[in-house]
Amino acid sequence: MTPKQGRSDLRELRTEQSHPTATDLDCKSALEIAQAINAEDATVAKAVEKALPQIARTIDRVASAIARGGRLIYVGAGTSGRVAALDASEATPTFNLKPGTIQFVIAGGNQALATPQEAKEDDEALGRAEMAKRRPTKNDVVIGIASSGRTPFTMAAVAEARRRGAHTVALTCNRKSPLEKAAGFAIVTEVGPEVLAGSSRMKAGTAHKMVLNMISTAAMTRLGYVYGNLMVNVAPKNEKLRQRAVTIIEQATGADEVASSGALRVAGNRTPVAVVMLAAGVSRTVAMSALQQTKGNVRKAIAKAGKV
């Protein structure tokens, strides 16, 4: 099915319908409006919960792809593209990832992050071209994000990625959408109508931020870039992050602040190296070798270094 053939009438989508309890929103007080929005926001986690099996399947697929040297590529337009950009941008420093490991493609390019580019959302040729620039392969996972599930740019980009052999996932808020049909697999968070009818930056955007947080965080955890619940791969590039790294080393190894700070310095400001050094009682050289052999998995590296 081509993106054009898969288009559906927006009026049929639950996310586009008017919420029955909010039809007099403009007559409410500030507190009443806030209460109405808050009540609906409280339903988002439940909608995400229902999609957890599909989210878990995607996490494993992403972890496997990155372990093979592949990439996670998000694609979206408008709110969906901005949510994608936020997760991709923040995951890289959180886990000290190699640049390009997690990417985003947004209709209208980086300019769309600050300036609306609505016309670009309907450009199928642009969607295909932007995805073609990334040259996706079977080693990559491409997640197309569209609350409606019918954005032409996103559908075309996902279809192009699938044609090139990438694993493709649709993240939408409506079942049996054209985007779901264009992708190989779907995560559907059925949040229903918005308090502000059709404004997918609200519940739909919140749901999708939650899902992307889960996917990137859990995939990195599965790869061993997390030890316990500590982000041991953090790169201390400023004073706040240096202090955070020292605290993480303390918590991960039981060492005091002085020993943790010293280990971080000896490790060349590489947090995972310092953790392995102290936890396994080994030199920097041994710790680095263990991390290299375990592809950066800190827990496995500690076990390997301890046997040396």
Instruction: Please state, as a whole number, how many other Cβ atoms lie within 10 Å of the Cβ of residue 1.
Output: 10
Domain assignment present for residue 231? The answer is no
Please spell the DSSP secondary structure of 208-219, one letter per residue.
HHHHHHHHHHHH
Tokens of residue 175, six digits: 């079942």
Domain assignment present for residue 228? The answer is no
Q: How many domains does the chain have?
A: 2
Mean pLDDT of 243-269: 97
Instruction: Indicate if the pLDDT at residue 220 is higher than 60.
Output: yes
Question: In the prediction, which pLDDT does 7 show?
Answer: 44
Q: Does residue 54 sit in the same domain as residue 171? A: yes
Tell which residue, 171, 163, 172, 162, has the closest CA to residue 141. Answer: 162
Q: Is 105 helix (H, G, I), strand (E, B) or coil?
A: strand
Residue in 121, 130, 194, 250 annotated catalytic: 121
Question: In the prediction, which pLDDT does 4 show?
Answer: 47
Question: In the prediction, which pLDDT does 172 show?
Answer: 96
Q: Does residue 92 sit in the same domain as residue 218? A: yes
Domain of 123, in residue numbers: 10-222
- What are the angstrom distances between the C-alpha of 211 and each of 24, 145, 295? 31, 11, 26
Average pLDDT, the chain: 91
CATH number at residue 265: 1.10.8.1080
- What residues contact 77, with CB distance under 8 A and at least 6 apart? 106, 107, 108, 112, 117, 120, 121, 146, 151, 153, 154
Question: In the prediction, which pLDDT does 14 show?
Answer: 59
Q: Does residue 41 sit in the same domain as residue 110? A: yes
Domain assignment present for residue 211? The answer is yes
Q: What percent of the chain is modeled with pLDDT above 70?
A: 93
Mean pLDDT of 186-215: 91
Q: Is 169 helix (H, G, I), strand (E, B) or coil?
A: strand
Question: In the prediction, which pLDDT does 195 show?
Answer: 82
Domain assignment present for residue 3? The answer is no
Q: Does residue 126 sit in the same domain as residue 216? A: yes
Q: Does residue 210 sit in the same domain as residue 129? A: yes
Instruction: Indicate if the pLDDT at residue 214 is higher than 90.
Output: yes
Q: Does residue 120 sit in the same domain as residue 214? A: yes
Q: Does residue 17 sit in the same domain as residue 159? A: yes
Q: What phi, psi does 125 have (nearest 5°)?
A: -60, -40
* Domain endpoint, select from 196, 222, 248: 222
Mean pLDDT of 121-145: 97
283 versus 196: which is more confidently predicted? 283
- Cα separation, 95 vs 216, whole angstroms: 10
121 is catalytic: yes
Q: Does residue 184 sit in the same domain as residue 209? A: yes
Domain assignment present for residue 229? The answer is no
Rounded to a whole number of angstroms, the distance between the first and last alpha carbons of the chain is 56
Instruction: For the full predicted model, state whether its pTM sits above 0.85.
Output: yes
Residue 12 DSSP class: G
124 is catalytic: no
Domain assignment present for residue 26? The answer is yes
- Cα separation, 192 vs 126, whole angstroms: 30
Does residue 278 contact residue 300 with C-beta atoms inside 8 Å? Answer: no
Longest CA–CA separation in the chain, Å: 71
CATH number at residue 76: 3.40.50.10490
Residue 1's pLDDT band, with cuts at 50, 70 and 90, is very low
Q: Does residue 193 sit in the same domain as residue 250? A: no
Q: Is 144 helix (H, G, I), strand (E, B) or coil?
A: strand
Q: What phi, psi does 142 have (nearest 5°)?
A: -115, 125
Q: What percent of the chain is modeled with pLDDT above 90?
A: 82
Q: Does residue 273 sit in the same domain as residue 181? A: no
Helices 203-222, 79-95: inter-axial angle, 10-degree rounding: 30
- Cα separation, 3 vs 106, whole angstroms: 17
Burial of 78 (0-12, 13-18, 19+ CB in 10 A): buried
Residue 18 DSSP class: P
Domain assignment present for residue 257? The answer is yes
Q: What is the total residue count of the chain?
A: 308
Domain assignment present for residue 84? The answer is yes
Burial of 254 (0-12, 13-18, 19+ CB in 10 A): exposed
Q: Does residue 153 sit in the same domain as residue 211? A: yes
Q: Does residue 40 sit in the same domain as residue 159? A: yes
Question: In the prediction, which pLDDT does 20 show?
Answer: 64
